[in-house]
Amino acid sequence: MFDEHHTDREIQRLDQQADHLDYLGKHKQASELRQESVALAAAEAQRRIALDADDTVALGKPLSFPAKDKVKDSRYPWFVKHYGDTCWELDALSPSILRDRLALAIESVIDWESWERHDVSEEAELTSLNSVLDWWAKESA
């Protein structure tokens, strides 16, 4: 998952491991994504998991602001063309809703069979380590 604060190096490293992209940041033009990071533009799939059209309807006008408030932002013309004259900040979305969506997005891409294998391996490693530490404690006493 990426947000707008990841460095290009972090994004490129993570993108080599991923076959999709979850993005929580601001609406961006594809050309802007390419300018900011080749990895973001090259992602095979991008899912918007926060503040979608349904959210803006549910939040309504009281939590919105005019897009013209961002007229100095380089993305302003593109945003108005694609999304209209009204904006909502990501912060308008309830943190619990955002947490739930993030959890679902993350859990949807976990290879649970592999996860379970790693859990079994980790348990075996901890048992072995504890055995060595117990032996060491007895020998040191």
Per-residue pLDDT of the chain (141 residues; tens, 9 = 90+): 444 444 555 555 555 555 555 555 555 554 454 444 444 444 445 677 888 888 889 998 889 999 999 999 988 998 899 888 999 888 888 999 989 998 888 888 889 999 899 999 999 999 999 999 999 999 988
Q: For the chain, what is the domain count?
A: 2
Contact between residue 2 and residue 91 where contact means Cβ atoms under 8 Å apart: no
Q: Are residues 119 and 141 in the same domain?
A: yes
Contact between residue 63 and residue 94 where contact means Cβ atoms under 8 Å apart: no
Total residue length of the chain:
141
Residue 55's nearest CA partner among 91, 3, 107 is 91
- Which residue range is the domain that position 66 belongs to? 8-110
Contact between residue 103 and residue 55 where contact means Cβ atoms under 8 Å apart: no
Q: Are residues 96 and 122 in the same domain?
A: no
Residue 89 belongs to some domain of the structure: yes
Q: Are residues 123 and 57 in the same domain?
A: no
Q: Are residues 75 and 131 in the same domain?
A: no
- Encoded tokens for 75: 């993305």
Q: Are residues 42 and 89 in the same domain?
A: yes
Q: Are residues 85 and 132 in the same domain?
A: no
Specify the pTM: 0.53
Query: How far apart are alpha carbons 3 and 115 in whole angstroms?
Result: 25
Q: Are residues 27 and 68 in the same domain?
A: yes
Q: Are residues 101 and 33 in the same domain?
A: yes
Residue 124 belongs to some domain of the structure: yes
Burial of 24 (0-12, 13-18, 19+ CB in 10 A): middle
Q: Are residues 69 and 120 in the same domain?
A: no
Q: Are residues 139 and 103 in the same domain?
A: no
Residue 25's nearest CA partner among 38, 16, 36 is 36
Q: Are residues 105 and 124 in the same domain?
A: no
